[in-house]
A and B are shown apart, each in its own frame.
Chain A
Amino acid sequence: MTALRPLILVVDDDPQIHRFLAPALEAAGYEPVRADTAAAGLADIANRPPDAVILDLGLPDMDGKAALQRARAFYDGPVLILSARDREMEKIEALDLGAVDYVEKPFHVGELLARLRAALRQRLSHQGARAVVHAGDVEIDLVKRLVLRAGEPVRLSPREYELLARLVEAGGRVVTHRQLLTAVWGPANVDDVQYLRVFVGHLRQKLETDPAAPRFLVTDSGVGYRFVAD
């Protein structure tokens, strides 16, 4: 029974968070494990590697970023960041360090669980799945490198396709500016965020019903972009 329930480690120093997150995770079919400090969390990861980690950045004993870095030495599962709005930089740095996504406090439990599901799905898709993604009337086939809108092929430049593919592959998770720029333009262009604006604009023109109010290619202000599929 327990083997079927994914193990989720929650690292947060606020007992009130555990108080509602534990029952919520249980109700959603996960097995929550509680850690109040970064040190305890790291010990838990080492002893019993969880399927995913929910990590608060504002921990009393260690910078959340530093904790993530240490965990990465022996853990490659998805890490979801809990953060406050005023810790923007830390959040981005954590994502660049390999956290899969983030949720800002205060948050709806439903939103957190949706991000958690996406993160876990991503882990499963590594084994090779979901080659075709649907979003509204748009269909993206990553194997055939084909993009269709209402059944008609959409012409994309190689760069536009690369960018879209990176976002689709992330499976609904946020991809930071730096990650996108490194993947599509190469490491020399990590600071040229304006490229991204232009190309995402092009993609929206070609794929979105209303490019001014995008539904699939969503901006995470100051952090990056995410592709929201059906």
Chain B
Amino acid sequence: MAPGVGKTYEMLAAGRRRKLEGLDVAIGVVETHGRRETEALIDGLQVLPRSPIEYRGRQLMEFDLDGALRRRPSLLLVDEYAHTNAPGSRHPKRWQDVEELLAAGIDVDTTLNVQHLESLVDVVWKITGVRVRETVPDSALSAADEIEMVDITPKELLERLHAGKVYMAETARLASNHFFKPENLTALREMALRRAAQTVDDQLVGAMRRQGIEGPWAAGERILVLVAGDAMASSLVRAGRRLADQMGGPWVVAHVERPNQPPGDNQATRWLNEALKLAEQLGGSTVVLTGDDLPGAVLDYAGRNNVTQIIIGRSRERLWRTVAGRSLAQALLRRSDGAALHFVSGGAPDTPREPQAHPVAERGWRRWAGYVGGLLLVAIATGVAFVLDRYSTGGDLAMIFLASVLISGLAYGFRPALVASVLAMLSYNYFFLEPRFSLQIGHAADVFTFTIFFAVAAASGWLTGRVRDQARLASRRAAAVTALLAASRRLSGAANQEETARVLAEQASAAAGGRAAVLLPIDQDLVQVASAPGPVILTTAEMAAAHWAWERSEAAGAGTGTLPQLGWIFRPLVGVRGRAGVAGVEANAFAALGEERLVAAMLDQGAVALERAQLAAATVEHESLRRSDKLRAALLNSISHDLRTPLSTVLGSATTLIDYGATLKPEVSSDLLISIREEAERLSRYVGDLLDMTRLEGGALRTRTEWTDARDVLGVAIQRVERRLGQRRLTRDFPADLSVVQIDPGLLEQAVVNVLENAIAYSPDASTIDVAAYEDRSSVLISIEDEGPGIPRADIERIFEKFRRLEEPSDRMSNDRNKGAGLGLSIAKGFVEAMGGRIAAASPLLDGRGTRVLISLPKPPGGAAAAAKPSDP
């Protein structure tokens, strides 16, 4: 309840008891403040070392969160729940450290003074005059499994204080604020007791509910808190939380945006953003309503959502509205039925704020630019009036000033327009109304004219300014909607994950007006895959925040509870099925409420789009796996067929000869022997093909290049296939003179043999196969043409694929026994390319028939070839 009551002592004593029960207890951090009886309790408990953090040249010893996570005790004692960590720590607050510990499955005992509770800050301030800065959200307390109230009477505490048993530095600060007055302590004690009782109550109610016990439950109270962009917004939110706690109902914080109202300035936006954020921290939900008729919009929402309690603020600055009979409170009172109204009056002075983390420099400059612009316009109007003054009378000149005010209004908004109207009035009076060059007005009539002029100027300036502001608000909304639509269209058009990420980064960057990056999980790691505009290199700390956002599925970085000192904010991209990635946006880009929401909406779209892309990628992967399975099946099929067929012949012929050799005619016997040899050769070729393929695939192919005459190689290759030609004719067309090329003759020979065998297999008997060699400037070319049925144009690229043959319709297999395993052309391609050459096929050649395979081998540049050229072929 207050410093000095003995919280730390109590925590340590409880920790020791748990240790005696056999639990693994460690001390994460404890502040004994030199009290001996407290220090004595530490004995026998392991104290984790703290980690040093550098801050403004000083080294602060802070609680080592990572050390504790590594140590993993069953119970960790962490003193001072409300402690603010040194800047640069992972979390700004210790209660966030505790949250992480709990999430990691480590039980934590901690200590807390009641005045540090977020929702009680205002009350404490009112009672004691002390504004507590170190606060803990109420939700953090609600999450506690057990609360132990450490309570002594105020009198006893004061006695301990006087006896010097209470930590002095803190005491001194608080004492100066008359904190330790008996009535203050009594109030704090009462608050603490009530709070503890309430928690006990909640637990009881929860238990009864779980066990299905009937009871008088709080009758569905729902609380609506209305906030505007003013100083008391946060106080209203806290009041809402307190009322919600007492009534045990859900609560909503609403802000009404009015299309015909100018948007508030930066300060107002900030107040509003803070209040909405605070509401979320305190466990409430938030909603932004839109409507011209403020009470109407509120009551409509309240009616639809069964709101029973409405909290509104009555700030002094809006008092004139009450006078004008336009009080929101009155309107609500008049029109609401059912809902109770709570008024919170006065604005509690806001906590002294840290300098804004991300000042919106550009916007500030632009605002002043409006006033400067107004001034310039009035100056120009004055100049023009001087010129016109020579030709006309004073009455018309007023119009020129009026014009300058109107233009100010249109260009810069209504505030600059009002300033411009004052300037215009002064200038007009000073320069043009008699007596000139003074602010006095000579004629009574002029006073009248002047007054009217001012009224008209001010009114028209105000009106045009409002028109302009509304137009800008409307166009900003339209722009947001357009941007969302455009993003949605572009995201849906993205073909894959990477493109989706790139589009998302671009759209988020454009919407936020700053840099953006998208990170995706790749191989168990978070990798930046896209950024805009241009490349973005994230620092280690920024990456840490990104990882945090990924692992916890919550935002990290600027303006959040994790690593808030960063210039970036990282948000998890959560789609329908879970996390898809993380998006980072530079925080100073978030200026207006609308833009932040726009970016958030965009990221939601992006998450779904990413998810879709990831699903599509998984489908493709599955498909390619399926295809590789199919290929493996084809390989198996091919091997079983192509090995067994020749084996059948060999075995069948051999056993025929063994069983019936004596009775067979000699020519039949020799034919069987020949078929055995042929089929054995076929098997041998096939096994050779498989070995070649294995060498190519395994990368074990070594080329031994030498200066080679392609004609020699062709001659050997033709010899090798000659016996299989059957009735086919083979023609050779070799030039008398051919450049030598630096190739592996063995590989070329096998490649040519494979192409020739293919030509034989796919051409009819008694057809012609033409083999030709020639050269152009850069290569030696070998052409092999057959008169077979040709290859459909669509398949021409695929004939060099492995096991290509298997996918052909079987009726094209005219003479099956000549065919290889469908590896021949694939191997030829592999060999030719290994030597730096190229192989291509063309079909059909003539009358829709015939295939030509062209092998080109590069000639070496320079004269080496010429020098090595044989003089006579």
Chain A residues close to B by CB (< 8 Å): 13-17, 19-21, 23-24, 27-28, 58, 60-61, 84-86, 105-110, 113
> Quick check: A20 and B660 within 8 Å, CB to CB?
no
Given A14-B817, A60-B810, A84-B641, verify A20-B664 contact (CB < 8 Å).
Answer: no
Measured CB to CB, the closest approach of chain A to B589, in angstroms, equals 65
A225 to B636 Cα, complex, angstroms: 29
**In the bound complex, do residue B644 and residue A20 qualify as a contact, i.e. CB atoms below 8 Å apart?**
no
- Given the complex, which residues of B lie within 8 Å of A13, measured CB to CB? 816
| Neighbouring A residues of B813 by C-beta, 8 Å | 60
Cα-based distance from A24 to B817 in the complex (angstroms): 21
B392 contacts A by Cβ under 8 Å: no
**21 residue pairs A–B, Cβ–Cβ below 8 Å:** A13-B816, A14-B645, A16-B646, A16-B648, A17-B649, A19-B671, A19-B672, A20-B652, A20-B653, A21-B652, A27-B659, A27-B660, A58-B641, A84-B640, A84-B644, A85-B644, A105-B644, A105-B648, A106-B648, A106-B650, A109-B656
0/1 interface trace, chain B 811-839, chain A, CB 8 Å (1 if under)? 10100110000000000000000000000
Question: B675 contacts the other chain (Cβ, under 8 Å)?
Answer: yes
**B651–A108 CB distance below 8 A:** yes
- Pick from A24, A58, A60: contact of B656, CB under 8 Å: A24
Across-interface contacts of B636 in A (CB, < 8 A): 86
Q: Give the contacts of B596-655 with A (CB-CB under 8 A).
A: 636-637, 640-641, 644-653, 655
Q: Say yes or no: B652 contacts A27, CB within 8 Å.
A: no
Chain A residue contacts of B640, Cβ below 8 A: 84-86
Given contacts A19-B649, A21-B652, A85-B644, 4 further A-B contacts (CB under 8 A): A19-B653, A84-B644, A106-B647, A106-B648
Contact A27 to B656, CB < 8 A, known contacts A20-B672, A84-B641 = yes
Tell yes or no: B668 within 8 A of A by CB.
Answer: yes
In the complex, what residues of B have CB within 8 A of residue A61's CB? 810-811
Known: A14-B648, A19-B649, A106-B650. A24 touches B679 (CB 8 A): no
Cα distance, A20 to B652, chains bound together (Å): 6
Whether the Cβ atoms of A23 and B650 lie closer than 8 Å is no
Cβ-closest chain A residue relative to B661:
A27
Is the CB–CB distance between A16 and B675 below 8 Å? yes
Residues of A contacting B660 with CB < 8 Å? 23-24, 27-28, 109
A13 to B648, CA, bound (A): 13
Report B-chain residues with C-beta under 8 Å of the C-beta of A105: 644-645, 647-648
Contacts of B649 in A (CB 8 A): 14, 16-17, 19-20
Judge whether B663 is part of the interface by a CB distance below 8 angstroms: yes
Contact A14 B656 (CB under 8 A): no
Distance in angstroms from B649 CB to nearest chain A CB is 4
- Nearest chain B CB to A206's CB is how many angstroms away? 36
Given contacts A13-B816, A24-B660, A109-B656, contact A19 B675 (CB under 8 A): yes
The 10 lowest CB-CB distance pairs between A and B, nearest first, are: A27-B660, A16-B649, A20-B653, A24-B656, A106-B648, A109-B655, A106-B651, A106-B647, A108-B655, A60-B810
Q: Which residue of B lies closest to A84 (CB)?
A: B644
Bound-state CA distance A14–B652 (Å) is 13
Contact (Cβ within 8 A) B664 A17: no
> In the complex, what distance in Å separates the CA atom of A110 from the CA atom of B651?
11
* Size of the chain B interface, CB-CB below 8 angstroms: 30
Given known A19-B671, A23-B672, contact A107–B811 (CB-CB < 8 A):
no
Q: For the complex, what is the distance from the CA of A107 to the CA of B641, rounded to whole Å?
A: 14
Q: Is B664 in contact with A27, judged by CB distance below 8 angstroms?
A: yes
- The distance from the CB of B639 to the nearest CB of chain A, in whole angstroms, is 10
Pick the residue among B646, B652, B671, B675 that contacts A107 (CB under 8 A).
Answer: B652
By beta carbon, the residue of chain B nearest A19 is B675
Nearest neighbor of B637 in chain A, beta-carbon distance: A86
- Tell me the bound Cα distance from A109 to B660 in angstroms: 10
Min distance, Cβ A88 to any Cβ of chain B, angstroms: 12
Distance, CA A28 to CA B661, complexed state (A): 11
Q: Mark B651-691 against chain A: 1 for CB-CB distance below 8 A, else 0.
A: 11101100110011000100110010001000000000000
Task: Give Cα distance in the complex from A51 to B292, angstroms.
Answer: 100
Q: List, in ascending order, chain A residues with CB within 8 A of B650's CB.
A: 106
For A113, the chain B residues whose CB sits under 8 A away are 659
CB closest residue in chain B, given A14: B645
CA A223 – CA B813 in complex, angstroms?
Answer: 32
A102 → chain B closest CB, angstroms: 14
A58 to B813, CA, bound (A): 14
CB closest residue in chain B, given A60: B810
- List, in ascending order, chain A residues with CB within 8 A of B656's CB: 20-21, 23-24, 27, 109
Do B668 and A23 touch (CB < 8 A)?
yes
- Is there contact, CB below 8 Å, between B651 and A14? no
Neighbouring B residues of A27 by C-beta, 8 Å: 656, 659-660, 663-664
Q: Which of B637, B653, B672 has the most CB of A within 10 A?
A: B653
The residues of A that contact B664 with a CB separation of less than 8 Å are 23, 27
Closest chain B residue to A87 by CB distance?
Answer: B640
Interface centre among A28, A106, A108 (most CB of B within 10 A): A106
B675 engages A24 (CB within 8 Å): no
How far does the alpha carbon of A107 sit from the alpha carbon of B647 in the complex, in Å? 9
Residue of B at shortest CB range from A21? B652
Rounded to whole angstroms, the CA-CA distance of A17 and B649 in the bound complex is 6
Closest-by-CB residue of A relative to B646 is A16
Please, how many angstroms separate the alpha-carbon atoms of A105 and B636 in the complex?
16
Residue in chain A with minimal CB distance to B652: A20
Q: When the two chains form their complex, are residues B637 and A14 in contact, meaning their CB atoms are under 8 A apart?
A: no
Across-interface contacts of A110 in B (CB, < 8 A): 655, 659
Q: Shortest beta-carbon distance, A44 to chain B, in Å?
A: 21
Instruction: Determine the distance from Cα of A205 to Cα of B811 in the docked complex, in whole angstroms.
Output: 53
Residue of A nearest to B660 (CB): A27
- Report the separation of the CA atoms of residues A205 and B518 in the bound assembly, to the nearest whole angstrom: 74
Check B811 against A60 for contact (C-beta < 8 Å). Answer: yes
Cβ–Cβ contact B659 & A107, under 8 A: no
Q: Is B637 within 8 A of A107, CB to CB?
A: no
Asked if residues B645 and A16 are in contact (CB atoms below 8 Å), the reply is yes
Residue in chain A with minimal CB distance to B809: A60
Output the least CB separation between B423 and chain A (Å): 97
Cβ–Cβ < 8 Å partners of B810 in chain A = 60-61
Nearest to B667 among chain A residues (CB) is A23
| A110–B645 CA distance with the chains assembled, in angstroms | 18
Please, how many angstroms separate the alpha-carbon atoms of A60 and B816 in the complex? Answer: 10
Task: Name the residue on B nearest A112 (C-beta).
Answer: B652
- Whole-angstrom distance from the CB of B62 to the nearest CB of chain A? 70
A224→B672 CA distance, assembly (Å)? 34
Of the candidates B637, B655, B663, B817, which one forms a contact with A16 in the assembled complex, judged by CB atoms under 8 Å apart? B817
Contact A107 B817 (CB under 8 A): no
- Which of A28, A84, A109 interacts with B652 by CB under 8 Å? A109
Q: How far is the CA of A86 from the CA of B34 in the complex (A)?
A: 86
Q: A84-B644, A86-B637 are contacts. A14–B653 as well, Cβ < 8 Å? A: no
Instruction: Assess whether B675 is in contact with A106, with CB atoms less than 8 Å apart.
Output: no
Chain A residue with the shortest CB-CB distance to B643: A106
Contact A16:B659 (CB < 8 A) given known A60-B810, A60-B811 = no
Which chain B residues border A106 with CB–CB below 8 Å? 644, 647-648, 650-652
Q: What is the CA–CA distance of A184 and B672 in the complex, to the nearest angstrom?
A: 46
Also in contact, A17 and B644, with CB within 8 A (given A23-B672, A60-B810): no
Q: Give chain B residues whose Cβ lies under 8 Å from the Cβ of A19.
A: 649, 653, 671-672, 675
Tell me, rounded to whole Å, the shortest Cβ–Cβ distance linking B273 to chain A: 71
| Contacting residues, chain B, for A24 (C-beta < 8 A) | 652, 655-656, 659-660
Minimum CB–CB distance for A118 against chain B, Å: 17
Shortest C-beta distance, A117 to chain B (Å), equals 13
Chain A residues with CB under 8 A of B647: 105-106
State how many angstroms separate the Cβ of B235 from the closest Cβ of chain A: 79
Q: Which residue of B lies closest to A110 (CB)?
A: B659
- Known contacts A20-B649, A24-B660, A60-B810: does B641 contact A14 (CB below 8 Å)? no
- CB-based nearest A residue for B659: A110
Instruction: Name the distance in Å between B256's Cβ and chain A's nearest Cβ.
Output: 73
Complex-state Cα separation, A84 to B816, whole angstroms: 17
Please name all residues of chain A whose beta carbon is closer than 8 Å to the beta carbon of B675 when the two chains form the complex.
16, 19-20
Task: Give min CB distance, B174 to chain A, whole Å.
Answer: 87
- Shortest C-beta distance, A229 to chain B (Å), equals 21
In this complex, what residue of B is CB-closest to A12?
B648
